A and B are shown apart, each in its own frame.
Chain A
Amino acid sequence: MKKNLALVWRRIPQRYRLIGSLCESCNEKFFPKRHFCPKCRRKGKIKDFQFSGKGSVYSYTKVSVAPEGYESMAPYYLAIVKLDEGPLLLAQIVDCEDDEIHIGAKVRKAFRIMNKDGKEGVINYGFKFIIDN
């Protein structure tokens, strides 16, 4: 899965640190970043916002058939996580046993390898979540 380097590199701050956006006009928070507020449009004032990385499971699935580059991690849990600050995002839940995950389970961010570009290419890192019990 040869990926253009810049394609992944330009999202590093968001992926490493959960930097999203805040619209100062309506106080709505966004992850991933938005360049303008879909609600306030031109009246919106967008600035960077650091999410705490705490949230809860909104929905989840155990992925048994994984896409290219993720096969060795399968099966893995993938969840929609509701961040404590409001927005939903999609992330893997790792180090998680079948009886630990349920809708509403508390989770917190972790820093993990997302994929590798073959044996000699770059290693891409990003956020996943772990159960916060």
Chain B
Amino acid sequence: MRRVAVIGIGITKFGEHWEKGFRDLVIEAGKNALEDANVQGEEIDALFVGAMSPGLMVGQEHAAALVADYIGLNPIPATRVEGACASGGLAFRNAYMAVASGMHDIVVAGGAEKMTDLDTAQISTVLGGAGDEEWELFQGATFPAIYALMAKRHMHEYHTREEDMALVSVKNHKHASMNDYAQFQKEITVEEVLESKTVSSPLKLLDCSPITDGAAVVVLAELEKAKKYTDTLIEVIGSGQASGQIALHDRQSITQIDATRVAAEKALKQAKVTHKDIDLVEVHDCFTIAEILALEDLGFFKKGEAVKAIRENQTYYDGSLPVNTSGGLKGCGHPVGATGIKQIVEVAIQLRNQAGKRQVKNAEIGMTHNVGGSGATAVVHILKRIK
């Protein structure tokens, strides 16, 4: 396998973009990424686009061809990758594999979602499709409800408290307030989280990631070729992906996402690093409980012990394990298909030492963790700054 580096990153502001459609968002992020990489369109060999459901959200299938067309990359091969909320992470992994395999030298990976064209009940139904339509949705389940079931059981087994989950939200909003492209720019308090409207008990509105429009794009290149474009090489040193049961109730345990565990083990093994080597991690906190589960399942903490680190503020950008410096899905926003690529963008910004107020000191190795559905897909990447 060939070595691969990220040579360019681009992102739109995450939020409610009433004036911009799906294609407008992708063009903006794509243009930024290509300029950042300083590559010309004709140098690019292929494109992968992660999007969960443009068909249901804006009525547009065939999204990769549209993106290739509108960012001026015709006639290169363009492929849409779908893995629910992990679509972006999967697009990145496919782009990585395409370069690592020797098939292509320079590949673009993008992710985008335009969510605000639907009303809340409609978008909630579409997102529910990431679970089991026949045996979860039909029963009246929503995504918050599925994660609430995990949270309730986690509280039962490990004495996790609603306040602990609220701390995750408070921290991610704090990080978001220092990130210009984040949806939320305001800090919140534990009390505000606890007093926010219940969505699906014990999860409240401020435990849930918002509905967001946005796009993110990165450019990957074979390492030797990458040196032509940049001095700060961000190498992809580990990539792992795994699958689990589509329905929560089919799992051995509902307080653990096995796919996350397996994907992390694979990525760490390939990267030949251990948890101690990771300077920061972007995890999939679609709900506050999901960040707690992620930190345990990725192997940073034993089951039930992540909350201790959270209570001790160790997961802030200046703590011993900075988590979600972008603001995470909670604070930065969660335009579903874009999230996996945004995580790569944030880690690259940190490793390039460009994160400003939220900069993690001496960051050299970062991890991303992107989940589809309630854990039926998980994809983990490890990136390293090399001289």
Contacts and interface: CB of A to CB of B under 8 A. Distances in A.
Interface SS of A by simple majority:
strand
B139 A78 contact: yes
A91 B137 CA distance: 10
A87 B141 CA distance: 18
Given A65-B124, A68-B124, A88-B249, A60 B149 contact: yes
Interface residues of A, number: 35
A6 interface: no
Interface string B116-159: 00001110110010000011111111101100111111001000
Interface in A50-65: 58-65
Contacts of A58: 153, 254
Interface stretch (B40-48, B194-202, B348-356): B194-202
B200 A91 contact: no
Contact of A80 (B134, B142, B248): B248
Contacts of B137: 67
Interface range, B side: 35 or more
B125 A1 contact: yes
A90 B200 CA distance: 15
A76 B140 contact: yes
Contacts of A87: 249
B247 interface: yes
A67 B121 contact: yes
A122 interface: no
Contacts of A90: 135-136, 139, 141, 149, 247-249
B156 A88 contact: no
Contacts of A11: 134
Nearest to A57: B152
Given A59-B156, A60-B152, A67 B250 contact: no
Q: Which of B122, B149, B156, B249 has the most CB of A within 10 A?
A: B249
Contacts of A62: 198, 200-201
A66 interface: yes
A57 to B, nearest CB: 10
A63 B145 contact: yes
A64 B156 contact: no
B202 A61 contact: yes
A80 B149 CA distance: 7
B140 A64 contact: no
A126 B199 contact: no
Nearest to A98: B201
Interface in B302-357: none
A64 B149 contact: no
Contact of A65 (B122, B135, B200): B200
B142 A67 contact: yes
Interface string A60-96: 1111111111110100101110000001111110000
Contacts of B249: 80, 87-90
B149 A71 contact: no
A15 B134 CA distance: 10
A92 B140 contact: yes
Interface of B: 120-122, 124-125, 128, 134-142, 144-145, 148-153, 156, 197-203, 247-250, 254
Given A61-B152, A90-B135, 15 more contacts: A59-B254, A62-B198, A63-B148, A65-B200, A67-B124, A67-B125, A67-B142, A73-B140, A78-B140, A80-B153, A87-B249, A89-B135, A92-B140, A114-B139, A124-B138
In the A-B complex, the 3 residue pairs with the smallest Cβ-Cβ separation, listed nearest first, are A61-B148, A59-B153, A88-B249
